[in-house]
Amino acid sequence: MKSRDPAMDGLDRALFTTGMSRLVQYLTLATALGCGLSAGVFFAFSSFVMPALDRLAPAQSIRAMNAINRLALTPAFMTALLGTALACAGLGAWAVASWGERAAALVLAGCVLYVVGAIVVTRAVNVPLNDALMGVDPEAADAAGRWSSYLAEWTAWNHVRAATTIAASGLLIAALRVA
């Protein structure tokens, strides 16, 4: 019989004990906060940033949104957005390995909602819309119509991002409650 590494036994106990270990609880809390932080950014855009941009002349709106999109790729924002997704991957693995635990389904649902809502929607919809807006000449004859279309579609999908990320945060908090 092959002997087990005592360090791995300790890691197994820390990650896969009955109920959530302290390590998994802390990771769940940090991930819930990351989901909430992302939700706040998305909510701000849906509730007042995009409506404020739409009050400007279309050429100004296009220039302002393009400036925001260029500036959004900061290390702090990307770390929060993608770091939370990475934490969701780890928690999702815990949930699958610990299926049957009271909190596992809530953790998995929260992690899937975040990854789909924040990462997949951003990459599949919002980023391509942003890239297309970068190519719009703000002074072109069709600029107002292109801004209006962009605003409607981008904001609708941003509502999805806001709703899914706040729901993800809530599910992760609920998981801590039942753990």
156 has pLDDT over 80: yes
Query: pTM higher than 0.95 for the full model?
Result: no
Q: Of 2-16, 19-33, 44-58, 79-93, where does mean pLDDT reach its minimum?
A: 2-16
In 55-117, alpha helices (H): 58-71, 75-97, 104-114
Averaged pLDDT for residues 102-107: 97
Nearest to 91 by CA among 63, 67, 111: 111
13 has pLDDT over 60: no
Which residues make Cβ contacts (< 8 Å) with residue 53, sequence separation at least 6?
Answer: 61, 64, 65, 151
The whole-angstrom separation of Cα 64 and Cα 74 is 17
Contact 91, 27 (CB under 8 A): yes
